[in-house]
């Protein structure tokens, strides 16, 4: 009940303010931020006419909660009343009057009296302006006039049970290629590329702008979908050329929510989820491991020393003392089956004519699936806590001046394993399951030993993953602060439609990392009395073991970015038919890094840009647009410093033509558009390259030195060397992309919308090493030039369908499809005219190359009589194809193989439906035309006498008894067989899959029930992600690609609660 | 506002302050110029590194168990390839740790610019420049020895040089040799004497002895069968029609080599160089048997001694020492820093002379007593006689280990052999011995990696003053002998024999080396002890003797690897490397001759030289690939 009174008092607060404002500046106080044309509220009564009758009514919001203080006016009569605390009113009207209902933040409604005596009015909230305009570079444009290829995603679709926004992107937007390789909290960012990759420089990913401010993908990952007003990706030239310097790889533009006029609204979303790996990698059982390890030694070297005696194997089978005859399932020892995560997001928004506010706070807690030893009092499991605070405030200083202040702070606190969760997973692959247990139960001598008696073998050089995991932990803290102030000034007094805007932004980021760990004591069994079943232990490393913690400071990353943007905007329609607009923008950006590592990198990174747009539209039918970016980057020499990037767009809305009227019922929209232009990229070479026009000399390279004197380098005179890591070249200049986009937008019956784009991009001036420079030149760094060229093309399509059968039953469906393929068109390489298969030209940018594996060798005769391969190999090792038939397998026999390593096709489809209080949605996502490789080195069993054995290898390998020439794994070995770990088609796998990405089932409590508590909405929901996967590949989650032995992608079962007041 | 913005931004992008270091700064003052000098030195290959010097572990004289992953081992197994060559010093890949073409370029930069430095006096500039000239010549030589004819980089090509200009050609053998030897001579004339190099801080820097000795060696290479009239390489003709290998054998090249060796030897003598003959104080009071041994060992490990011509300082010999040092006590097996993985092969054990200074298969005493036939059979150490100084009393070992020359006992750690020194100097009370059976203190222990696969270790290449106690080890530093006087003596003897046939002078120099090793002269030893008494009087016989003398005297110092190739004896590498059975736990199991290579090793003519990486050939089509690759 207390809540109720609070709520009401907030509501009443607005009445006096509204009135006061009105009195102050009657008709002129239009809220231009909200952008609606609002008819003004008149409260005072004048020229009263004779009342004809008295009517009653109640004003409620859509949820049924009464609105006190709503204004009820008789149109054109300057007379009105205000609703009371229960939303009720009474007014005297005549039959011909029209009543007008208004309230801040709600659409005004007019209802003719026409005999009614009771008015039950449901006020509709003002529709978000975003649904009518599209966010484009530096501005907003009316949807119909947008010629660029821009995809906007409904932020509702980004609400997945994950603390990482990037994991929600795959398959949601046409034009975005996205996939996730790891499921480790804090390290699970998905990779995403707009329309694929068209460069082979270091910067391949898109520019990400948060409220026009460039941020990292990590910052994007932290964003809460609840706080996002719009999320769009910009794909073609007209959309991105204004961002000249950084736009070539596409742009992701995110704007955050602002307060909307109206009462204070509170939204709370709380989720608790259980996450578990989508799939576990299966290892061979310990007995098989021992047998096959012995086989691996003997099959290569009949005299080889085997590690497991008959006795040991037999006792392990018989289930002897587990400390003496260990049989570890390391996965079980190290990992839990599932973990629990929580997420909480709260926001508060509202405002009036003078000021609007949006405040949000987020708390996410993500845990890993690692176990913690009870003997340690620290937590070595992953525990990532993320806090975020946001405050967006808009203030109307005068009727034509608006100031916006946006503040955001996000803070990560992390505790977790020393080298991250991935390393724990990969350490399982580097562990022997049978040589020693994770730890020993104390023997008699160690009854009072305080430390954990970790197991190890021989001299303690073996990897005990349990010791690695539990011996310590790391802490890190990351803080990111954005502060932004924006000033908007209308300049209608100069000429109508003119406005000025300035924005200043600063980002501060700081990160630090501390490791704490002890050096574990390792033990081995020295004697075992089988009769008594008693063993005695020997400490292996008495000297190096430590019971106390050591401490190590790690990298500290601090950087600061400042950004300024100034723009003049002009927008006007002449004679209702000629819509003209113009925009000029100036931007400057400066970023500096502490701990940069060398002098040149410590200097600020800077860009400035001038950009402009001019649009003209005739009668909402014909559209043209001209854009340019003129950008400067500090990386280039003075003569190459600025690049000019123009673009042009043309559009035609066929359905607005007069003759289309008849068709409009069926094809409600038909729009054709074409754009072409240039976009630049200054992030070329590598991120270490600062000033291409300067050489980079290390005058004191500690990595290289010479020493002399009596004791040489054990105490003589030593001087470090002078080395060069870059030669000066003042001709190096911008990488440019020429983008062509042809698009069509179609709508049928106003229910089904289809957008399709065909695109082609030609990237020129890609920085490359000159291939013609032979090693004999003795250069310490490559000589480079802007010579590379690449091309990409493809199509992206999105389909949306929505249908409301009635108020209780609705359905929406969406689907999208992206296909982007790329190829090298010009690539510096040796002259391969005689060996065309070696040439990169014509190959996809992400294509892997290697040898064509034919099968395994049949016998030693075949080995002898086949072209020479690599290192030592025998029957049962991989036989490669001699492409150039020169009698040996060498680099000249490499070919490009499979699909690219990044998918060419990403698609998604899903639907949502609602029936009364129930809602249900599901979403499938998939990708195709991707190849990945099983890593033959990481998965090689028995290496160093300790690498794990995958079950599939145990079941399916070549052996002398079973000479399967197409076995999954070649002849076993205890050492890396160079011949078999060549990059080849043998370990190539198809990466395509389709998965049930998300499923959600929700129930909203009936309004009647909750309105008493002044709750406007209360929804409970259950959701899940990655619930089902369909793929040919069974070893691990196919989305992880070659990283399958890392921290697995998670399957999540989630329960959530959404509540709004 | 835009105008305002443009005003602000005028210099906005000029973020680079003045004084950002460029290469010009290297020659502005003495300090940085000296650094550049050291930079030129920093490309010096790691002579003596068991990982980075192919001659140390890439040959047939020693073998390592399969756990060692070094690139050099692939060379030893005959597994070189042309797509990703091992120890590729041409491009600094696959085990190579120095980029020699870059080194040559830096040397050229130094030579071009050192004149600009203001605060270095002229005499010092001259010295520095001469040092760098030598380095430049030596780096060419290092590549020449590996790849055969190579492009000569007399001057640097400009970075902006045209595509055709940078496609250099390999120069023919004779041009390369002339260039290298000429430059070395030029350097020698300006280099300081050894005594002028301040030992405390400069030892290891170039002097005229080094330059002249290495120059002599280059001439010897040019005269050797691999480079002199080698018909195997007749097909190496580049696209201009230039033949890279001279096809006519030229005996005169041996004369030039002999002359150069003599010149170098005379210079050495002039500067008081002589074979090391000191008896260390630590041994003085010990039995005589240890004197010769330690003197021979100290010729290598006594720092900056009278015999050493060029001591390498860019590589620390402690790693080498740790690979060489045997584990001499049970508990020292737990010292993981003592590796003991460097295992001499049985072939090398057989190469050492008998105590009479002749090969064991020629020694009449060995043959008459059936010691040779029984060489792999066990024999107990007799209680009388000198054997107890070499083999642990009361133990058994094979005949092969008895009655060998002192250098055998000085160089090789073998099963049951006395291991003098390492903290234990009082014979017989606490002097240790080695025991190589599996699970014994020097042998293979369960899964451990630190053991010798052949059952021997290289005693010679660590100081006997190393301290190895129950739980500690301290390894003595010494500069690696890249060139020492006995090497030069033997090169001279070889050149003389090849140029003029057997001569007293040739034998004199061989005998000098033998004398220090405690052996009689060549002619005398053969005539008294050998079944082929006239061997030293024939050219072929003496050649064999000289080759064997080099193999023994310079064993494990990184010479045999190159000598085998220079002498065109690569087929010798096809004898399968052998050792004892390291996993044998008793004498019966241990003393089984075992092939230690997992796969048969295979060498052929192509292995005389490194292949040039195929990619480099594709980049520069003017280079031709070496024969067979």
Of B15, B34, B83, the CB nearest to A634: B15
| Chain A residues within an 8 Å CB radius of B447 | 307, 457-458, 945
| Helical ranges in B342-484 per DSSP H | 346-351, 364-368, 406-411
What are the pLDDT digits (tens) for A247-279?
A: 889 999 999 999 988 889 999 999 999 999 999
What confidence score (pLDDT) does residue B439 get?
84
pLDDT band at B448 (very low <50, low <70, confident <90, very high): low
pLDDT band at A110 (very low <50, low <70, confident <90, very high): confident
pLDDT band at B469 (very low <50, low <70, confident <90, very high): confident
Q: Is the pLDDT of residue B31 over 50?
A: yes
Higher-pLDDT residue of B69 and A1056 is A1056
Beta strand pairing status for A207-210 and A251-256? parallel
What's the Cα-to-Cα distance from A637 to each of A243, A691, A694, A705, rounded to whole Å?
21, 8, 8, 33
> How does the average pLDDT of chain A come out, rounded?
88
Asked whether B201 and A708 are in contact (CB, 8 A), the reply is yes
DSSP state of A876: T
What confidence score (pLDDT) does residue B331 get?
61
Residue A631's closest chain B neighbor by CA? B13
Residue A828's closest chain B neighbor by CA? B619
What confidence score (pLDDT) does residue B588 get?
93
| Chain A residues within an 8 Å CB radius of B157 | 777
Residue A636's closest chain B neighbor by CA? B13
Whether A542 and chain B come into contact, CB under 8 Å, resolves to no
What confidence score (pLDDT) does residue B487 get?
97
pLDDT band at A22 (very low <50, low <70, confident <90, very high): very low
Residues 6+ apart with CB under 8 A from B228: B222, B246, B249, B250, B253
Whether A864 and chain B come into contact, CB under 8 Å, resolves to no
Of A568, A719, A891, the CB nearest to B38: A719
Scan residues 969-1028 of A and list those with Cβ closer than 8 Å to B: 974-976
Asked whether B176 and B145 are in contact (CB, 8 A), the reply is no
What are the pLDDT digits (tens) for A371-409?
A: 988 888 888 899 999 999 999 999 999 989 999 999 999
Q: Cβ contact (<8 Å) for B204 and A708?
A: yes
Whether A928 and chain B come into contact, CB under 8 Å, resolves to no
Q: Which of B23, B73, B582 to mutate to test the interface with A (most CBs of A within 10 A)?
A: B23
Q: Read off the tokens for A658.
A: 């007069």
What confidence score (pLDDT) does residue B108 get?
96
Q: What's the average model confidence in pLDDT over A125-150?
A: 78
What's the Cα-to-Cα distance from A805 to each of A751, A754, B221, rounded to whole Å?
12, 21, 95
Phi then psi for residue A712, to 5 deg, are 50, -135
| Chain B residues within an 8 Å CB radius of A779 | 102, 105, 159
What confidence score (pLDDT) does residue B333 get?
44
pLDDT band at A11 (very low <50, low <70, confident <90, very high): very low
Sign, CA dihedral B316-B319-B325-B329, equals positive
Residue B76's closest chain A neighbor by CA? A871
Cis peptide before B428 (omega within 30 of 0): yes
Scan residues 609-628 of A and list those with Cβ closer than 8 Å to B: 610
Residue B2's closest chain A neighbor by CA? A586
| Chain B residues within an 8 Å CB radius of A539 | none
Q: Is the pLDDT of residue A41 over 80?
A: no
What confidence score (pLDDT) does residue A201 get?
81
Task: Report which of B34, B39, B26, B27 is spatially closest to residue B116, judged by C-alpha positions.
Answer: B27
Q: Is the pLDDT of residue A17 over 50?
A: no
Neighbours of B504 (CB within 10 A): 9
> How does the average pLDDT of chain B come out, rounded?
92
Q: Is the pLDDT of residue A495 over 50?
A: yes
pLDDT band at B6 (very low <50, low <70, confident <90, very high): low
Taking the CA of residue B596 and the nearest CA in chain A, the distance in Å comes to: 9
Residue B98's closest chain A neighbor by CA? A704
What's the Cα-to-Cα distance from A373 to each of A334, A420, A754, rounded to whole Å?
10, 17, 56
Residue B438's closest chain A neighbor by CA? A305
Question: Of A60-64, A459-463, B168-172, B597-601, where does mean pLDDT reach its minimum?
Answer: A60-64
What are the pLDDT digits (tens) for A928-980?
A: 999 999 999 999 999 988 899 999 999 999 999 989 999 999 999 998 898 99
Q: Cβ contact (<8 Å) for A775 and B66?
A: no
What are the pLDDT digits (tens) for A831-875?
A: 888 889 999 999 999 899 999 999 999 999 999 899 989 888 999
Q: Is the pLDDT of residue A1029 over 90?
A: yes
| Chain B residues within an 8 Å CB radius of A780 | 99, 102, 105
Q: Is the pLDDT of residue B62 over 50?
A: yes
Of B15, B619, B620, the CB nearest to A604: B15
What confidence score (pLDDT) does residue A378 get?
85
| Helical ranges in B53-192 per DSSP H | 54-57, 71-76, 100-113, 122-147, 163-166, 173-190
Asked whether B466 and B476 are in contact (CB, 8 A), the reply is yes
What CA–CA distance (Å, rounded) separates A387 from A362? 5
Q: Read off the tokens for B322.
A: 């740790």
Asked whether B77 and B85 are in contact (CB, 8 A), the reply is no
Taking the CA of residue A700 and the nearest CA in chain B, the distance in Å comes to: 8
pLDDT band at A129 (very low <50, low <70, confident <90, very high): low
What CA–CA distance (Å, rounded) separates B281 from A902? 71
| Chain A residues within an 8 Å CB radius of B314 | 706-707, 712-713
| Chain B residues within an 8 Å CB radius of A712 | 203-204, 311, 313-314, 316, 477, 479
Phi then psi for residue A117, to 5 deg, are -120, -20
CB pairs under 8 A between A and B: 233
Q: Which of B153, B154, B161, B313 to mutate to test the interface with A (most CBs of A within 10 A)?
A: B313
What confidence score (pLDDT) does residue B4 get?
52
Q: Is the pLDDT of residue B544 over 90?
A: yes
Q: Is the pTM of this model over 0.95?
A: no
What confidence score (pLDDT) does residue A122 get?
84
- By CB atoms closer than 10 A (0-12, 13-18, 19+), residue A962 is exposed
pLDDT band at B262 (very low <50, low <70, confident <90, very high): very high
What are the pLDDT digits (tens) for B354-394?
A: 999 999 999 999 999 999 999 999 999 887 788 899 999 88
Which 3-state string (H, E, C) describes B477-526?
Answer: CCCEEEEEHHHHHHHHHHHHHHHHCCCHHHHHHHHHHHHHCCCCCHHHHH
Task: Report which of A402, A391, A392, A390 is spatially closest to residue A353, judged by C-alpha positions.
Answer: A402
Structure ipTM: 0.91
Q: Is the pLDDT of residue A33 over 60?
A: no
Neighbours of B360 (CB within 10 A): 25
What confidence score (pLDDT) does residue A25 get?
40
Q: Is the pLDDT of residue B432 over 60?
A: yes
DSSP-assigned letters across all residues of A1010-1040 = HHTTT-SEEEEEEEEEEEEEE-S--SS-GGG
Whether A724 and chain B come into contact, CB under 8 Å, resolves to yes
Whether A28 and chain B come into contact, CB under 8 Å, resolves to no
Taking the CA of residue A633 and the nearest CA in chain B, the distance in Å comes to: 7
Q: Is the pLDDT of residue A27 over 80?
A: no
Residues 6+ apart with CB under 8 A from B200: A709, A710, A716
What confidence score (pLDDT) does residue A12 get?
39
What CA–CA distance (Å, rounded) separates A344 from B517? 84
Using a pLDDT cut of 70, give the percent of chain B over it: 97
**Gyration radius of chain B over CA positions:** 26
| Chain B residues within an 8 Å CB radius of A975 | 66-67
Q: Is the pLDDT of residue B41 over 90?
A: yes
Helix (H, G, I), strand (E, B), or coil: what is residue B125? Answer: helix
What are the pLDDT digits (tens) for B304-359?
A: 999 999 999 877 788 899 999 998 887 644 566 788 899 999 999 999 999 999 99
What are the pLDDT digits (tens) for A655-706?
A: 999 898 888 889 999 999 999 999 999 888 887 788 888 888 889 998 899 9
Q: Cβ contact (<8 Å) for B203 and A708?
A: yes
Whether A407 and chain B come into contact, CB under 8 Å, resolves to no
Higher-pLDDT residue of B541 and A139 is B541
H/E stretch holding A179: strand A176-180
Question: Of A332-336, A798-802, A826-830, B161-165, where does mean pLDDT reach its minimum?
Answer: B161-165
What CA–CA distance (Å, rounded) separates B358 from B624? 45
What are the pLDDT digits (tens) for B103-134?
A: 999 999 999 999 999 999 999 999 999 999 99
Q: Cβ contact (<8 Å) for B34 and A832?
A: no
Q: Cβ contact (<8 Å) for A728 and B22?
A: yes
Q: Which of A297, A718, A732, A774 to mutate to test the interface with B (most CBs of B within 10 A)?
A: A774
What confidence score (pLDDT) does residue A29 get?
35
Q: Is the pLDDT of residue B79 over 50?
A: yes
Q: What's the average model confidence in pLDDT over A118-123?
A: 84
Q: Cβ contact (<8 Å) for A719 and B35?
A: yes
Taking the CA of residue B499 and the nearest CA in chain A, the distance in Å comes to: 36
Half-sphere exposure of B386 (CA within 13 A, CB side): 12
What are the pLDDT digits (tens) for A621-651?
A: 999 999 999 999 988 998 889 999 999 999 9
Asked whether A236 and A1010 are in contact (CB, 8 A), the reply is no
What CA–CA distance (Å, rounded) separates B193 from A394? 83
Half-sphere exposure of B154 (CA within 13 A, CB side): 9
Asked whether B144 and B222 are in contact (CB, 8 A), the reply is no
Sign, CA dihedral B252-B258-B261-B262, equals negative
Q: Cβ contact (<8 Å) for B159 and A779?
A: yes
What are the pLDDT digits (tens) for A909-920?
A: 999 999 988 999
Of A458, A713, A722, the CB nearest to B35: A722
Q: Cβ contact (<8 Å) for B447 and A710?
A: no
What are the pLDDT digits (tens) for A279-301?
A: 989 999 999 999 999 999 999 88
What are the pLDDT digits (tens) for B210-236?
A: 999 999 999 999 999 999 999 999 999
Taking the CA of residue A693 and the nearest CA in chain B, the distance in Å comes to: 11
Q: Is the pLDDT of residue B1 over 80?
A: no
Q: Is the pLDDT of residue A328 over 90?
A: yes
Q: What's the average model confidence in pLDDT over B493-514?
A: 97
Phi then psi for residue A369, to 5 deg, are -105, 20
What CA–CA distance (Å, rounded) separates B508 from B493? 8
Whether A887 and chain B come into contact, CB under 8 Å, resolves to no
Q: Cβ contact (<8 Å) for A716 and B102?
A: no
Q: Read off the tokens for B320.
A: 């080498």
What are the pLDDT digits (tens) for A714-727?
A: 678 899 999 998 88
What confidence score (pLDDT) does residue B446 get?
60
Taking the CA of residue A720 and the nearest CA in chain B, the distance in Å comes to: 6
Helix (H, G, I), strand (E, B), or coil: what is residue B103? Answer: helix
What confidence score (pLDDT) does residue A44 get?
40
What confidence score (pLDDT) does residue A723 get?
93
Of B74, B102, B199, the CB nearest to A778: B102
What CA–CA distance (Å, rounded) separates A173 from A796? 9
Beta strand pairing status for A988-990 and A931-933? antiparallel
Sequence length of chain B is 629
């Amino acid at each position: 009940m207390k809540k109720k009174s609070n709520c009401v008092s907030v509501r009443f607060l607005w009445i006096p303010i509204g009135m006061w404002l009105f009195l102050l500046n009657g008709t002129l106080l239009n809220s231009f931020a909200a952008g609606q044309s609002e008819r003004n509220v008149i409260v005072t009564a004048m020229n009263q006419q004779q009342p004809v009758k008295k009517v009653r009514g109640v004003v409620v919001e859509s949820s049924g909660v009464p609105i006190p203080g709503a204004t009820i006016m008789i149109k054109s009569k300057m007379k009105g009343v205000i609703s009371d605390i229960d939303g009720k009113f009474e007014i005297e009207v005549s039959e011909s009057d029209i009543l007008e209902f208004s309230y801040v933040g709600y659409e005004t409604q007019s209802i003719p009296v026409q005999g009614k005596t009771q008015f039950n009015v449901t006020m509709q909230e003002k529709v978000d302006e975003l649904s009518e305009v599209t966010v484009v570079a530096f501005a907003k444009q009316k949807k119909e006039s947008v010629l660029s290829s821009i995809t906007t995603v409904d932020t509702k679709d980004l609400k997945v049970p994950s603390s990482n926004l990037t994991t929600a992107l795959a398959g949601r937007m046409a034009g975005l290629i996205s996939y996730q390789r790891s499921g480790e909290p804090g390290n699970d960012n998905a990779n995403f590329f707009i329309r694929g990759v068209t460069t082979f420089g270091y910067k391949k990913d898109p520019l990400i702008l948060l409220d026009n401010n460039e941020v990292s993908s990590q910052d994007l990952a932290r964003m809460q979908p609840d706080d996002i007003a719009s999320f769009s990706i910009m794909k073609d030239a007209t959309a991105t050329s204004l961002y000249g310097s950084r736009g070539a790889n596409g742009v992701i533009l995110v704007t955050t929510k602002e307060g909307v006029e109206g009462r204070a609204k509170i939204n709370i979303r709380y989720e608790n989820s259980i996450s578990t790996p989508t799939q576990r990698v299966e290892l061979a059982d310990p007995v098989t491991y021992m047998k096959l390890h012995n086989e691996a030694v003997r099959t290569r070297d009949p005299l080889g020393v085997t590690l497991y005696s008959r006795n040991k194997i037999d006792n392990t089978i018989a289930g002897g003392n587990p400390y003496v005859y260990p049989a570890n399932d390391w996965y079980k020892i190290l990992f839990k089956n599932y973990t629990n995560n929580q997420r909480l997001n709260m926001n508060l928004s509202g405002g009036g004519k003078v000021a609007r506010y949006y405040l949000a706070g987020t708390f996410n807690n993500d845990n890993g699936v690692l176990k913690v030893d009870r003997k340690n009092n620290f937590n070595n499991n992953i525990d990532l806590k993320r806090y975020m605070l946001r405050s967006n405030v808009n203030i109307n200083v005068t009727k034509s001046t608006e100031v916006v202040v946006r503040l955001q702070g996000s803070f990560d606190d992390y505790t977790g394993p020393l080298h991250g969760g991935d390393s724990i997973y990969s350490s399982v692959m580097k562990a022997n399951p049978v040589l020693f247990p994770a730890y020993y139960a104390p023997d008699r001598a160690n009854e009072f030993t305080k430390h954990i008696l970790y197991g190890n073998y021989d001299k303690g050089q073996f990897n005990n993953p349990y010791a690695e995991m539990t011996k310590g932990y790391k802490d890190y803290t990351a803080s990111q602060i954005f502060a932004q102030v924006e000033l908007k000034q209308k300049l209608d007094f100069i000429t109508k439609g003119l406005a000025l805007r300035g924005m200043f932004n600063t980002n501060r980021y700081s990160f630090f990392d501390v490791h704490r760990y002890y050096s574990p004591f390792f033990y081995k069994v020295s004697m075992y009395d089988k009769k008594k079943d008693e063993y005695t232990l020997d400490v292996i490393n008495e000297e190096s073991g430590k019971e106390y913690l050591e401490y190590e400071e790690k990298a500290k990353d601090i950087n600061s970015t400042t950004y300024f943007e100034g723009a003049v905007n002009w927008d006007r329609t002449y004679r209702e038919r000629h819509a003209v607009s113009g925009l000029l923008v100036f931007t400057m950006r400066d970023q500096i890094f502490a701990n940069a590592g060398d002098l040149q990198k410590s200097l600020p990174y800077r860009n400035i840009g001038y950009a402009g747009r001019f649009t003209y539209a005739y009668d909402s039918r014909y559209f043209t647009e001209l854009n340019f970016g003129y950008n400067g980057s500090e990386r280039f020499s003075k003569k190459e410093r600025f690049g000019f990037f123009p673009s042009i767009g043309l559009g035609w809305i066929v359905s607005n033509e007069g003759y289309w009227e008849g068709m409009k019922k069926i094809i409600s929209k038909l729009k054709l558009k074409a754009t072409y232009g240039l976009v630049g990229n200054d992030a070329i070479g590598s991120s270490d390259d600062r000033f291409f026009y300067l050489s980079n000399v290390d005058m004191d390279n500690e990595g290289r030195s010479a020493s002399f004197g009596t004791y040489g380098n054990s105490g003589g005179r030593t001087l470090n060397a002078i080395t060069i890591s870059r030669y000066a070249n003042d001709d190096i200049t911008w990488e440019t992309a020429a983008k062509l986009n042809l698009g069509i937008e179609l709508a049928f019956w106003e229910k089904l919308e289809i957008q399709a784009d065909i695109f082609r991009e030609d990237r020129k001036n890609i920085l490359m090493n000159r291939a013609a420079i032979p090693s004999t030149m003795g250069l310490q760094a490559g000589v480079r030039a802007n010579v590379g060229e690449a091309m990409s093309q493809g199509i992206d399509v999105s389909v949306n369908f929505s249908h409301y059968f009635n108020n209780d039953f609705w359905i929406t469906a969406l689907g999208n499809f992206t296909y982007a393929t790329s190829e090298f068109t010009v690539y510096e390489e040796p002259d391969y005219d005689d060996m065309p298969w070696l040439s990169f030209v014509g190959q996809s940018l992400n294509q892997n190359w290697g040898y064509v594996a034919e099968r395994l060798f049949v016998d030693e005769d075949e080995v002898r009589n086949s072209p020479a391969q690599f290192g030592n190999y025998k029957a049962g090792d991989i036989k490669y194809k001699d492409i150039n038939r020169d009698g040996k397998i060498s680099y000249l026999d490499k070919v490009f193989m499979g699909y690219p390593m990044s998918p060419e096709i990403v698609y998604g489809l899903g639907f949502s439906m609602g029936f009364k209080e129930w809602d249900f949605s599901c979403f499938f996502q998939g990708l195709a035309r991707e190849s990945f490789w099983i890593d033959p080195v990481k998965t090689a069993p028995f290496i160093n006498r300790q690498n794990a054995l995958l079950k599939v290898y145990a079941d399916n390998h070549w052996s002398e008894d079973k000479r399967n020439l197409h076995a999954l794994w070649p002849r076993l070995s205890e050492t890396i067989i160079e011949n078999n770990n060549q990059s080849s088609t043998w370990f190539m796998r198809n990466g395509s899959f389709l998965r049930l990405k998300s499923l959600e089932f929700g129930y909203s409590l009936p309004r009647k029930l909750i309105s008493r508590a002044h709750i406007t909405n209360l929804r409970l929901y259950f959701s899940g992600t990655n619930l089902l996967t369909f793929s040919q590949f069974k070893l691990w989650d196919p989305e992880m690609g070659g990283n399958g032995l890392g921290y697995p992608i998670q399957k999540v079962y989630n329960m959530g609660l959404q509540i709004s007041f | 506002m835009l105008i305002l913005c443009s005003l602000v931004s005028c210099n906005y992008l000029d973020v680079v302050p003045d004084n950002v270091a460029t290469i010009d700064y290297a020659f502005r003052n003495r300090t940085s110029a000296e650094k550049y000098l050291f930079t030129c030195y920093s490309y010096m290959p790691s002579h003596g590194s068991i990982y980075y010097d192919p001659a140390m572990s890439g040959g047939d004289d020693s073998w390592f168990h399969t756990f060692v992953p070094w690139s050099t081992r692939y060379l030893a197994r005959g597994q070189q390839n042309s797509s990703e060559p091992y120890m590729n010093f041409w491009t600094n890949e696959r085990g190579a740790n120095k980029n020699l073409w870059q080194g040559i370029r830096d040397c050229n930069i130094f030579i071009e610019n050192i004149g600009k430095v203001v605060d270095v006096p002229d005499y010092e500039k001259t010295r520095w420049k001469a040092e760098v000239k030598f380095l430049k010549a030596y780096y060419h030589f290092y590549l020449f020895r590996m790849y055969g004819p190579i492009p000569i980089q007399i001057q640097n090509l400009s970075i902006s040089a045209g595509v055709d200009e940078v496609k250099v050609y390999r120069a023919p053998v004779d041009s390369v040799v002339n260039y290298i030897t000429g430059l070395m001579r030029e350097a020698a004339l300006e280099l300081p004497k050894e005594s002028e190099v301040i030992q405390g801080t400069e030892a290891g820097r170039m002097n005229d002895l080094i330059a002249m000795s290495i120059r002599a060696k280059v001439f010897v290479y040019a005269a050797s069968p691999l480079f002199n009239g080698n018909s195997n390489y007749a097909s190496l003709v580049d696209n201009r029609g230039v033949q890279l290998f001279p096809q006519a054998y030229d005996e005169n090249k041996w004369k030039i080599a002999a002359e150069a060796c003599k010149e170098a030897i005379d210079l050495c003598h002039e500067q008081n160089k002589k074979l090391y003959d000191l008896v260390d104080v630590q041994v003085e009071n010990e039995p005589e048997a240890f004197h010769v041994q330690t003197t021979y060992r100290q010729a290598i490990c006594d720092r900056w001694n009278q015999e050493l011509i060029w001591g390498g300082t860019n590589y620390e010999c402690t790693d080498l020492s740790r690979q060489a040092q045997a584990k001499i006590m049970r508990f020292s097996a737990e010292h993981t820093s003592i590796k003991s993985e460097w295992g001499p092969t049985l072939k090398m054990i057989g190469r050492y002379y008998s105590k009479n200074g002749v090969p064991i298969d020629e020694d009449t005493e060995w043959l008459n007593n059936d010691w040779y036939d029984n060489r792999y059979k066990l024999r107990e150490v007799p209680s009388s006689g000198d054997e107890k100084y070499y083999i642990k009393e009361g133990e058994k070992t094979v005949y092969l280990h008895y009655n060998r020359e002192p250098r055998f006992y000085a160089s090789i750690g073998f099963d049951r052999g006395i291991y003098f020194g390492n903290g234990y100097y009082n014979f017989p009370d606490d002097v240790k011995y080695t025991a190589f059976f599996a699970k014994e203190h020097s042998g293979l222990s369960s899964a451990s990696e630190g053991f010798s696969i052949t059952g021997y270790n290289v005693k010679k290449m660590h100081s006997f003053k190393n301290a190895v106690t129950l739980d500690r080890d301290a390894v003595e530093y010494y500069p690696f002998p890249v060139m020492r006087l006995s090497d030069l003596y033997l090169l001279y003897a070889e050149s003389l024999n090849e140029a003029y046939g057997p001569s007293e002078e040739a034998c004199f120099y061989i005998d000098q080396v033998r004398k220090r090793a405690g052996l009689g002269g060549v002619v005398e030893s053969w005539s008294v002890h050998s079944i082929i008494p006239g061997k030293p009087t024939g050219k072929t016989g003496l050649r064999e003797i000289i080759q064997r003398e080099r193999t023994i005297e310079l064993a494990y110092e990184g010479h045999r690897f190159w000598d085998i190739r220079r002498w065109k004896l690569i087929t010798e590498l096809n004898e399968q490397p052998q050792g004892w059975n390291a996993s044998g736990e008793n004498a019966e199991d241990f003393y089984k001759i075992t092939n230690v290579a997992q796969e048969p090793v295979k060498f052929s003519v192509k292995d005389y030289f490194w292949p040039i990486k195929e990619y480099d050939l594709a980049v520069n089509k003017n280079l031709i690939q070496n024969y067979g690759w």
